[in-house]
Structures are given as C-alpha cells and as structure tokens.
Structure 1
Amino acid sequence: MRWAGEPGQHGGVADLLWDDVSCFFDPDLMGSLPDVRVPNTSVEDWQAVLDLVAEKGWKCQYSEGVTVLPVPRAEAVLSRSADAECPDLRVWPTADALAIFRFHADDEVDFDVDLRELQGQERLDVFCGFLREIGRRLDKPVLMDPEGDYGHPVLGFDVEADRVVVLADPQVM
C-alpha cells in the first residue's frame, strides 16, 4: 500500500489511492450515505463552514422543509425551536458531487455524501480535498463512518498529518 506523499499512478500526490480504499466507497458494504462528521464543534465552527462555502464559491442551497431560503447565520439556524424542521444545506464542491449538511446540533458538524457519486480516483481526490478544506478551516478532524455505524470511522482528515488518512483496515471490510 502506498501512502499520500508518495507518487501515485497519476503523477500527482493524492491523499488516498482508489485501489487502496475502494472498499470504503462500496455502497453495498458502507451504505450509500455514510455519515461524515466533525466532532466537538461550536456555533462558531458551523459559521466557519458556512463562510468557507461562500469563500470557495461552491454552489449551495439552504432549505427548511421544501422552502428554499438564503443561507442564514449559523447562530440563527442552530437556535431554532426543538420542534422546527431540521434544515439542510446542500453543497456541491463540484457539479457532480453533493454534500448535504444537517443542522442537528451545534456540537457536531455533520453531513452526508452519496458514495455512488464518489467512484474512482478523480472523485476520491475531490472528496479528500473537500474534507481537507473543512478540516483545515476548523483545525479539527473530519471523520467518515459507515452509514448507521456511528463512532467507527474508516477514514478522515487528520489535523497533524494535514491530509486524509485511512482509520480502519480495508482488509476487514
């Protein structure tokens, strides 16, 4: 297995190599919508993510139920009443890759990705870049758990290494 920083078959440097981690992107093994999260966050971290989306110019759409609205401040979203519908923010880091942020709580930034959109090295590189941008902005790890298997991350952005790393053994999957 090669690690990031070593030349890959694409000539550039990738965080992860598709051949090494493709099992983590198999919808039959992982569920098609794995949970991606940044633990131990605050309202300020949520706002930093919203600011990052705006700064990067990523296409996005904020909605509450079926109503599409302008993106509010994180504080306004996270202080809504407990019985209000959970809003979401759809973010497209590229035209064909979608991340859906859900504003469940201020202490964890969480979002879903569709593994069917993340097949192959090029899409993996986009995904790793997205995790890296969020992790660097928040200076916190960004973890991906199999769908419905919260707390058992298989990969994520490592702050110390400043790249996305494997956190589980692909052979066990």
Structure 2
Amino acid sequence: MADLLWDDVSCFFDPDLMGSLPDVRVPDASVKDWQAVLDLVSERGWTCQYSEGEMVLPVPRAEAVLSRLADAECPDLRVWPIADVLAIFRFHADDEVDFDIDLRELQGQERLDVFCGFLREIGRRLGKPVLMDPEGDYGHPVLGFDVEADRVVLLAEPQVR
C-alpha cells in the first residue's frame, strides 16, 4: 500500500507552490550518518555521480568530504534511485544530511511511490526522520519519513485548490 496518495498530496509537489527544488533533510545527523547514506547508495546499486566543482571523482568516505577546507567548493553527490528521478546531496555540514529533489520529476502516483520509497530507505537506514520543506522555507516540513510509523506521513495540511 502507498504511504501517500497522489490525489491527497499533489499540492506539495506543485513547483509553483513549493518551489521546484524543495529541501529534503535529516536533522541531527553525524558523519556516521552521512557514511551510512553513501553505503546505502552503493549497496542499492543506485546510479550516482560525485563531483567537486566540474571534476567528477570516485565517491570518497564521508569523513574525507566533510573535513575539507572551509573555503573549498561544496561537493555534491547526484543519485538516481530510478532513471528519471534525481536527488542531489550537498555536503554543507556534518550535522544534517540534505538533498534537493526536482518536483517536476515527481508527478503522479508512480513517482510519488518512488520518492516515498527513497525517503523510507534513508530513514530506516539512519533510524531518523527525513523531512521535506518547501524551497526556501526551512524548518516547516510538509511531509517526511516518520521512524515510529515506519512510513512517509503528512506533516502539514494539504492546500485545497
């Protein structure tokens, strides 16, 4: 059974309302959590690409990425859980795993199920919530993986159109 139904949550996937790149995050994280995400990507065989600026490099250990110099360019890890759905992890800080997802790629029940599955995989691996905030509205999650419920749940009331 689906965590969320498209007809109930489609407003949260409207780029005009939410911004096209909402912020997805795991708060209260650690370097160990970042490494667990990197391990998960590898274990699941998801296509990925790690880069620092324009240079594409092999995926390093989380500790190496997060201990870079303060003025170094922020690396990113592009992960495709399926061919047409891209998550871009940005290594801004060791205390929060964060990534962007393009809402234009998440239209309809099938893509929503892929997204919820992706959040579940990360949340289960870390044993922590995975929250989605509207773009530029940090700290106001609208949905996320709930550890106790073991599923993705609504955290805000959907907007009626």
Kindly indicate whether residue 35 of structure 2 is the aligned counterpart of residue 47 of structure 1: yes
Amino acid at match of 1:120: G
1:170 paired with 2:145, answer no
> Residue 142 of structure 1 is aligned with which of 120, 130, 155?
130
In the other structure, the counterpart of 1:125 is 113
TM-score (norm 1): 0.92
Q: CA deviation at 1:42?
A: 0.3
Gaps of 5+ in 2: none
Secondary structure at the counterpart of residue 47 of structure 1: helix
Write the distance in 2 (CA, Å) between the matches of 1:148 and 1:112.
Answer: 11
What is the deviation of 1:171? Answer: 3.0
Show the 5 A alignment for 1:66-77. 66-77=54-65
Q: Which residue of the other structure, out of 78, 83, 91, is the alignment partner of 1:90? A: 78
Counterpart of 2:141 (choices 153, 156, 163) is 153
> How many residues get paired?
161
| Aligned counterparts of 1:138 and 1:109: Cα–Cα separation in 2 | 10
TM-score when scaled to structure 2?
0.99
Give the ranges of 4+ consecutive aligned residues of structure 1 lying more than 3 Å apart after TM superposition: none
- 1:81 is paired with a residue whose SS is coil
Cα distance in 2 for partners of 1:53, 1:172 equals: 36
Q: Which has the larger radius of gyration?
A: 1
* 1:61 matched to 2:49: yes
Aligned residue in 2 for 1:102: 90
State the SS of the aligned residue for 2:159: helix
State, as a whole percentage, how many aligned pairs show the same letter: 89
Q: Residues 23-79 of structure 1: CA distance to partner in whole angstroms, max 9, x if unpaired?
A: 000000000000000000000000000000000000000000000000000000000
Point out where structure 1 has 5 or more consecutive residues left out of the alignment. Answer: 1-12
Aligned letter for 2:59? V
